[in-house]
């Protein structure tokens, strides 16, 4: 995802999953762009381990791209007893990048232009080779170099190229995961590689995350960098899978699915049957940028949905916040 306020943007198409929200009694915030401490930057002060504040609501989808309203009958054919009864919450700490650090980061990227300061925390550096745009918690690099001709690297090669490029420009975090190719585009030829932290995993939120857009011969054309210094905080009692399933069954969960646009009109009410057979724990962000943000657990129910009148089933995922009372950690 490119920065909304970036001066230059890629022409790549935006690939968006359709997300559907069943009616909920909670009032979650929209999914937030996460924090991005750059290696070596300063961070905000630590949260006191002696006082545990109530956590903000988990960032989960609140709007369906196609405007669908779901009225589904749901069943679960899996096992409720395989997940832990408690899980840790993690804090994310944010960077404070100054003009001198912005200049150093640009130089590492081969950009020698003057640092333009829009305010105390927003910087832009640009020359003939590329641009670097920095806002609190986010950084975007765009190359202006001529795009080479040739073939796209394989997925394995693309991940290796992206990781090595991050190492060379001093942007490879110590706790970064293996990486994966999330998008391949044939025209224009592009491969997008995404990196997430090793822990916690899996991670649903858009940050912490690093993406690198590669062209032919593995040339890095663009990179978006959103990283956080992650620390384990308190361990919390979870609501339990049975109670979480009640939220799904009662149409109070957050749904994500893809349905063919040529068969289902925008804003349609989708009825039918959703059959889930797996449940797992994942993590997502919570909190408002500029304040303390967290990574907290959510239940992820996976299965198939068969819309009424259709002979075809489609993958569906339902999310339920795992914490009941965030003011009562168990350890």
> What is the distance of C-alpha 276 from the center of its chain?
24
Residue 308 forms part of a structural domain: yes
Residues 317 and 168 in one domain: no
Say if CB 219 and CB 145 are below 8 A apart: yes
- Of 168, 196, 227, at which residue does a domain stop? 227
Q: Note if the pTM is more than 0.75.
A: yes
pLDDT the model gives residue 68: 84
Q: Are 83 and 41 in contact (CB under 8 A)?
A: no
Q: How confident is the model at residue 62 (pLDDT cuts 50, 70, 90)?
A: low
Q: Is residue 106 part of a domain?
A: yes
The answer to whether residue 68 sits within a structural domain is yes
Task: State the chain's mean pLDDT as an integer.
Answer: 83
pLDDT at 53: 56
100: helix, coil or strand? Answer: helix
Domain boundary among the residues 169, 201, 227 is at 227
Q: Are 182 and 192 in contact (CB under 8 A)?
A: yes
pLDDT at 63: 61
CATH number of the domain enclosing 71: 2.40.128
- Please report whether residue 7 resides in a domain: no
Same domain, yes or no: 165 and 84: no
Residue 314 within a domain: yes
- Residue with the bigger pLDDT between 258 and 231: it is 231
Expressed as residue numbers, the domain containing 120 is 95-227
Give 148-194 pLDDT, tens digit per residue. 999 999 999 999 999 999 999 999 999 999 999 999 999 999 999 99
Q: Are residues 192 and 216 in the same domain?
A: yes
Q: Please report whether residue 304 resides in a domain.
A: yes
Mapping DSSP to helix (H, G, I), strand (E, B) and coil, where does residue 165 land? helix
Question: How many domains would you assign to the chain?
Answer: 2
Please, what is the Cα angle at 171 between 169 and 177, to 5 degrees? 130
* Same-domain pairing of 202 and 148: yes
pLDDT number for residue 311: 94
φ/ψ of residue 300, rounded to 5: -125, 110
| Dihedral sign from CA coordinates of 41, 42, 47, 50 | positive
Same domain, 99 and 220: yes
Same domain (yes/no): 117, 209: yes
- Residue 211 and residue 276 in one domain: no
**In a shared domain, residues 67 and 161:** no
Check whether residue 77 and residue 176 sit in a common domain. Answer: no
Top mean-pLDDT range of 12-26, 152-166, 287-301, 317-331: 152-166
> Do 58 and 169 have their domain in common?
no
Cβ-Cβ contacts under 8 Å for 11 (sequence gap 6 or more)? 188
**Per-residue pLDDT tens over the stretch 72-120:** 999 999 888 789 999 999 999 978 899 999 999 999 999 999 999 988 7
Per mean pLDDT, which of 41-55, 277-291, 313-327 is the most reliable? 277-291
pLDDT in tens, 119-156: 878 999 999 999 999 998 899 999 999 999 999 999 99
- Tokens 């991050």: give the residue: 166
Element (H, E) at 88: strand 86-93
- The domain boundary, picked from 182, 208, 227, lies at 227
In a domain, 42, yes or no: no
> What contacts 278, CB < 8 A, 6 or more positions away?
78, 301, 302, 303
327 assigned to some structural domain? no
For 230, the token pair is: 């992650």
260 and 223 in a common domain: no
Q: Which residues pair with 302 in a beta bridge?
A: 278, 317
pLDDT band, very low/low/confident/very high, at 313 (cuts 50, 70, 90): very high
Alpha-helical (H) ranges within 199-317 are 241-249
Shared domain for 146 and 170, answered yes or no, is yes
C-alpha 197/C-alpha 177 separation (Å) is 5
Look at residue 120 in the predicted model and tell me its pLDDT: 77
Dist CA 112 CA 65 (whole Å): 41
């Amino acid at each position: 995802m490119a920065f909304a306020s970036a001066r230059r943007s890629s022409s790549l198409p935006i690939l968006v999953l359709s997300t559907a929200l069943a009616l909920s009694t909670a009032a979650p915030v929209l999914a937030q762009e996460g924090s991005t401490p750059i290696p070596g930057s300063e961070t905000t002060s630590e949260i006191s381990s002696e006082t545990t504040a109530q956590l903000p609501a988990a960032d989960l989808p609140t709007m369906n791209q196609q405007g669908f309203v779901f009225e589904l009958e749901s069943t679960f054919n899996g096992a409720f007893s395989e997940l832990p009864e408690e899980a840790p919450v993690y804090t994310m700490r944010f960077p404070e990048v100054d003009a001198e650090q912005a200049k150093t980061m640009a130089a590492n990227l081969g950009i020698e232009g003057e640092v333009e300061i829009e305010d105390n925390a927003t910087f832009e550096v640009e020359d003939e080779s590329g641009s670097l745009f920095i806002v609190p918690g986010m950084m975007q690099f765009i190359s202006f170099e001529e795009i080479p001709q040739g073939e796209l690297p394989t997925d394995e090669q693309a991940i290796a190229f992206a990781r090595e490029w991050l190492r060379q420009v001093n942007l490879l975090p110590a706790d970064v995961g293996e990486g994966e190719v999330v998008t391949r585009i044939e025209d224009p030829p592009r491969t997008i590689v995404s990196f997430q932290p090793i822990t916690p995993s899996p991670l649903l939120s858009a940050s912490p995350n690093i993406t690198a857009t590669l062209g032919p011969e593995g040339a890095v054309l663009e990179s978006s960098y959103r990283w956080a210094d992650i620390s384990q905080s308190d361990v919390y009692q979870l609501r339990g899978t049975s109670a979480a399933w009640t939220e799904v069954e009662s149409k109070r969960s957050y749904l994500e699915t893809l349905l063919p646009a040529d068969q289902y009109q925008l804003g349609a009410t989708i009825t039918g049957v959703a059959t889930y057979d797996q449940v797992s724990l994942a993590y997502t962000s919570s909190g408002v940028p500029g304040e303390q943000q967290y990574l907290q657990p959510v239940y992820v129910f996976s299965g198939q949905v068969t819309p009424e009148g259709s002979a075809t089933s489609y993958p569906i995922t339902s999310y339920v916040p795992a914490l009941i009372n965030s003011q009562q950690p168990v350890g």
